[in-house]
Amino acid sequence: MSVKNKKSRGRNVNRTELAEINGVSMPTVDDWVSRGCPVIQHGARGRAWIFNTADVRSWRDDDIRAQTSHTGNASKSELLLRKLAAETEQAELDLAKAKEQVVPVEQYERALTKAFGEVRAGLRNVLPQRAARRLMGESDETRFKDVLREEVDHVLEALADRDLVEESDIALADDEGEGADGE
């Protein structure tokens, strides 16, 4: 169906092609149309929807910018309320930090790396050995899958019962460099 549009850049495509090109579902295209997406021809019984890809791309860029900024048509009172909300959120974050209810991203990343390393090691070391013994001579595909699923669940349950990360594993570099007297 794609036809080159002589008036502008881009191609004229139907609704299905537009969804495929943009990697979205048909309901998403319908949502775009309801929000003002440019349409060359509205579909009807026996008549296809027609969109120009360049026009839709331009509209999407504008739509994304509008959705992320939220300040385009905001009144002064709306902007003041947003500022107050942002200040409140910052104060709550500062309080949570003071109460040590949040951790720096570096600590969180270190903890996740350690935890996923433990999971990986558990799956690679335990799973093949246990599964191999149970599957020796097995030829039924369903049974094979069931045993593997059971063994994966067994390893994950065992890992869930362990402390995969200890406080010393996620200490920040500052903490590691402290002397005996805490300085």
CA 30/CA 43 separation, integer angstroms: 11
Other beta carbons within 10 angstroms of residue 154's beta carbon come to 15
36: left (phi over 0), alpha (psi -120 to 50) or beta: left
pTM of the predicted model, to two decimals?
A: 0.37
According to the model, what pLDDT value does residue 40 have? 96
Alpha helices in the chain (DSSP H): 15-22, 26-34, 53-69, 76-98, 105-135, 141-160, 173-176
Fold entry, domain 3-69:
Arc Repressor Mutant, subunit A (1.10.10)
Three-class SS state of 102: coil
Domain chopping of the chain, boundaries: 3-69, 74-102, 105-176
According to the model, what pLDDT value does residue 183 have? 43
Other beta carbons within 10 angstroms of residue 162's beta carbon come to 10
pLDDT tens by residue, the chain, 183 residues: 545 444 558 899 999 999 999 899 999 999 999 999 999 999 988 899 999 999 999 999 988 887 776 666 678 888 888 889 889 989 988 888 888 777 777 777 888 888 888 888 878 877 788 888 888 888 899 998 998 888 888 888 877 777 777 766 666 544 444 444 444
According to the model, what pLDDT value does residue 63 have? 85
Other beta carbons within 10 angstroms of residue 126's beta carbon come to 16
